[in-house]
Structure 1
Amino acid sequence: MKKGKLFASIVFAMIFTVLVAACSSETQNSNEGAESGDTKNVVLTTAGTSGAFYPIGAAMAQIVNNNEPSLRITNQASGGSVENVRLLKNGEVEFALLGGDSAVGAYEGIGLEFEGDPHDDVLKGVFSMYSQPLNLVTVEGTGIESFSDLEGKRIAVGAPGSGTEVKTREVLEILGLPYGDGVRQEYLSFAEGVEGMRDGHIDAAFIWAGIPTPGVMDLANVRDIKLIGLNDEEVEAVNNANPSLYKEVIPAGTYKGVDEDTQTLAVNTQTVVHADLDEEYVYNFVKAIFDNLDNLHEAVEAMREMTPETAHQNVIELHPGAKRYYQEIGVLD
């Protein structure tokens, strides 16, 4: 009887020792994966598949997956910038592409969606990417020649709660054409808005995207399009209310049939990361992108604006891993 108890005690002690060692090893691996050679699976969330963010995310994922063994990136479609902030906050994704207004708004807790709710403990910057002009598009026959002519018209304002919709709502309110009273808003994605103009169900669409935007190019091939510009006073009023939205010019010839420069607004775009992601992983991500920047430029025309010299500018507070890379290559003190 005593021998049986002694044997059981010895077995229990051995099992306990093995379990403690396994748990200790697992904890060490989770904390030191970046250094130990383990591959970490992470998600990069972008936007709808018809916009520019999704193919940019796909290109980034391919570059990192082909060149950096410590990371395995999954490119994930989403409802856009505002949803991406929620996904980061909930810990569902590690990286996200955001419009600059959403990045600053979420980080500082300002703006229509984030007032009083700063996320500076969740979001950190990785790099700024490119400028995203407002393509305010209409077609012949709508009678729209200027911004004020949008009054009473059927306007595609973006998918509900997307960064596009938030920016569009803000601009319309600042310039005196709020939802309902000023315009008849339709919550449609880029692709749905273009399709609506093609079929005559929509009078105009707000499309905040890198140029040339494929959907607008396609529309110009089947309908006579117009880009509606904003005058100096309109641009100044919006910029004064939200400095993240600044003056931009879409050059003549960007789209078929648009033969004059169009003054409009723009917002920059940023890649951000969850603040808690290990510094080494973020450093490896940034290094893989810039070591293969030519591939990214070739994959997405708009990304040609991004260089190592500009990437750390006009972005929210940098993650330590990103900051270390820029310091290492000598573009940041």
Structure 2
Amino acid sequence: MDRLIAPLLDRLAGRLGANDLALVQRAYARAAERHEGRFRHSGAPYITHPVEVASLVAAAGGDPATVCAALLHDTLDETAFDAGRLRAEFGGDVSELVTGLAELKDGVPEAADDRVLLLRLSDRLHNMRTVEYLAPHKQRQKSLQTLETFVPLARRLGLAPVAAELESIARKRLAPGPEFAALRTLALILPAQARGRYLREWAAELAALPTGHRAYVLELLRGVPALAVVLWRPRARRLTRTLLTTVLASRARPWLALAPPLTWLTYQLARTSLADALAFVLSVPPALSALITGARRRLGLERDDDTPHD
């Protein structure tokens, strides 16, 4: 017995009969043959991947057909093995599971067979366990997809430990580098409600870029202050309007605030020139009164017919 498959067979021995165990052994032998000479990014023989996927399926309680499909899941896409031969050697159930998984590579539809979803989830879990051997931008892409698609899928299938492990690995890979940390710090000037949304969008954009994205981050940093002005402008207008409405709520209220400084200025002018003080009294208060009236009208606090008539 090949020592690579021995732990899996030992795990299955307690619940599978001799015929099913023999089928699993045959599936392993065929997969090992098809992947001979191929290696993972880590440098490990490729066959270690389907064996690990099959072990995850077995640990989740997968049936013999699903375990065999896990061992053979990359033979159609990655080798010259064809679906007809797969069906002839391992039967329709195994063949349909492998074919169904191949069709799922670009998505995880809600209506898929749960056994196919288990295969897809187990495949992703082992790939995430070895994701550090991929290029950094691919690590981020797979981590984002894992959080968005595979963690919810694991929870839906009732595999909470798998969901937790996937989430933990993905979040570690998405931990911000120094460039994103600078972006996140500057983003503090954005309104709190918008800040999280923009940071998520920027993280997704950075994940889709190759590793040399420093220039892109610098452009984002330069644009954050302008973005803050745009996002804060409506709130600043509302705040300004609220303050002005409060101050100008009545005709007397603004004059209560203006009277002390106007009186002090008049007194200071009168100490040196009564003419200047008189000119100040005759020109400044009427101008301020006109400004106050105009502001009250713009705020809807006063209509044209509210002004007194002689």
Say whether the fold is shared (TM-score over 0.5).
no
Q: TM-score range by the shorter chain?
A: under 0.3
The structure with the greater share of residues assigned to helix is 2
Greater strand content: 1
TM-score (norm 1): 0.24
Which structure's relative contact order is higher, taking Cα pairs within 8 Å and 6+ residues apart? 1
- For the pair shown, the structure with the greater C-alpha radius of gyration is 2
